Structure 1
Amino acid sequence: MNNTIPPLSTFSPYLSFTREEWAHLRDDAPLPLTEAEIKNLQGINERLSIEEVNTIYLPLCRLLNLYATASQKLHQTTNVFLNKQEKKVPYIIGVAGSVAVGKSTTSRIIQALLSRWDNHPKVELVTTDGFLYPNRILESKGLLQRKGFPESYNIRRLMKFLYNVKAGNPNVEVPVYSHLAYDILPDACQTIQQPDILIVEGINILQTGKQTDEASGPQIFVSDFLDFSVYVDASEQDLLSWYLKRFEILRETAFQNPASYFHRYASLSKEEALQFARGIWRDINGMNLRENILPTKYRSTLILEKAADHSVEKIQLRKI
């Protein structure tokens, strides 16, 4: 009898795929986006090709379509069992990962592709930036320099939003965050009106940690409301490189706007700007990544591992 203990990798809860293996899972799903549409969806320092969409995102959205369709049928079956009138419940997809990893681009591509399927044409996208506390509150709590850390978010309000959406409630409002003003816009909101699919993008959607809710009962986390989650991954070296490149582009563009919160940095030299950006990464983004974001990686349903050129080189899908 062989008593050899297999390596820990044998017990991985994930199935791993190379680009080539994953691309075959596209089956015959057509590409509904033009090159111009794809260009409009990419980030400011990303170059998203048709080949990347075909190879990575079409198979992913085919899988999401199958999952969402199965979920719709499960809800219908449950309502029959409970003798309840059917109520539209959206399928919620979370997209997590570090600052500068490309979560927004991934979310926009998924939204654009999924909205072309006939059985779920209404796909909405929100970011958890809208659930950051306003700057005035962060300042009063001494947390302005920890924006993005768990304590800088109004998690209670975020979970109330997800609860209302998952309950099928119409016209659920989301606060709006402005990257130009670097703050919540007090008189603006995004209204979510019973979508077929809701994509929630944010660095904090898979985090747990101790909650400060005084109410008794079991702890509930944001991830409890997600049907599927994607973690966009990359090495910290690449993340820093992408962050610095993005900061330099913003210094030459958005920061030039006098209304920008970061307008004060527009006059910095390239060397000064890079030194400042490195400090932000060291003291805020990098620390937050290691302490709060990266530990949630293996709580996701699917992991997209990126190479230095932003292309996805490996995919891990959690086993059912």
Structure 2
Amino acid sequence: MVDEVLKRYKAGWENFFVIALTGSVSVGKSTISQQLSDELKKSFPGVTTAIISVDSFIFSNEELKSRGIFSEKGFPKSYDLKALSAALFELKNGSNEIKIPVYSQAINNIAAGEFETIKKPKILIVEGVCAFRIDNYDLSIYVDADEKLIYQWFLKRTLSFIRNSKDDPNNFYYQFSKMPIPKIMPAINQTWEQTDLRNLTEFIEPMKKKADMVIHKTKGHRIDRIIVN
């Protein structure tokens, strides 16, 4: 994976290089992005990297509710993609740094008044369910896995969020932490079926055909093959 990325980067290495990385919820996009960032810096001394999550540009819960699309949170319409593309345009056209909103998993919302500074790197990785919908990326990577495995990873992650929230009343998942698992499973499965699975089948998976590279994962989040297009 890293060799292929570097081959494409070196073809015009003096230019700002943007990698768009997408895939389903819970498929491991953030982990792969961080691994790729670390390996790039090890393999090419002097290269700098940064990661932006598309979630930083999701509309706040309050805005989603006012638009009547809170139930479609995570779908393309729930993101301010114009603002994300504008931020990337700033970096590509001379800005040395930008400030972007912060999405908090703990509150399941944009953290009001909080911003993260992104210093312009040589290689920027933009990861998230809508990453292929930004403008002017140089390399596209799709993280793929069997739907049944993705559901298992989604369930494991959700239960982990709930378990880790039991001592934090301000955490979004705290409301579920005092409930027995059988009682919360219907809500978890409803979220999967009506939001995350639908988002995958209708909006995310169709983008796979645009990918320059497909990383396929199997049990244990192990990468079992990489397809370069």
Bin of the TM-score, shorter chain as denominator length: over 0.9
Structure 1 residue 306 displacement after superposition: 1.3
1:165 alignment partner in structure 2: 91
User: Alpha-carbon deviation of 1:193?
Assistant: 1.9
Give the secondary structure class of the aligned counterpart of 1:272. Answer: helix
Q: Which residue of 2 aligns with 1:266?
A: 177
What is residue 113 of structure 2 aligned with on the other side?
Answer: 187
Superposition deviation, residue 120 in structure 1: 4.1
Deviation at 1:255, TM superposition (A): 5.1
One of 42, 61, 64 as aligned partner of 1:138:
64
Indicate whether 1:67 and 2:18 are aligned: no
Give the structure with the larger strand fraction: 2
Tell me, what secondary structure is at the counterpart of 2:26?
Answer: coil
CA contact (8 A) 1:244 1:274 kept: no
Answer whether contact 1:95 1:201 (CA < 8 A) is retained.
yes
Query: What is the aligned residue count?
Result: 229
Shift of 1:286: 0.5
| TM-score, reference length from structure 2 | 0.94
CA contact (8 A) 1:120 1:197 kept: no
Give structure 1 stretches of 5+ with no counterpart: 1-59, 74-88, 208-221
Give how far 1:256 is off: 4.1
Partner of 2:142: 231
Greater relative CO, 1 or 2 (CA 8 Å, sep 6+): 2
Kept in 1: contact 2:50–2:125 (CA 8 A): yes
What RMSD over aligned residues (CA atoms) do the two structures have, in Å? 1.5
Q: Which has the larger radius of gyration?
A: 1
Tell me the distance in 2 between the aligned counterparts of 1:61 and 1:288.
29
Q: 2:50 pairs with 80, 104, 124, which one?
A: 124
- Paired residue for 1:283? 194
Amino acid at match of 2:125: I
* TM score, norm. by length of structure 1: 0.68
Aligned position for 1:19: none
Which stretches in structure 2 are left out of the alignment for 5+ residues? none
Q: Which amino acid aligns with 1:98?
A: S
Matched, 1:304 2:211: no
Aligned residue for 1:309, secondary structure, equals helix
In structure 2, give the amino acid aligned to 1:99: V
Q: Amino acid of the residue matched to residue 63 of structure 1? A: E
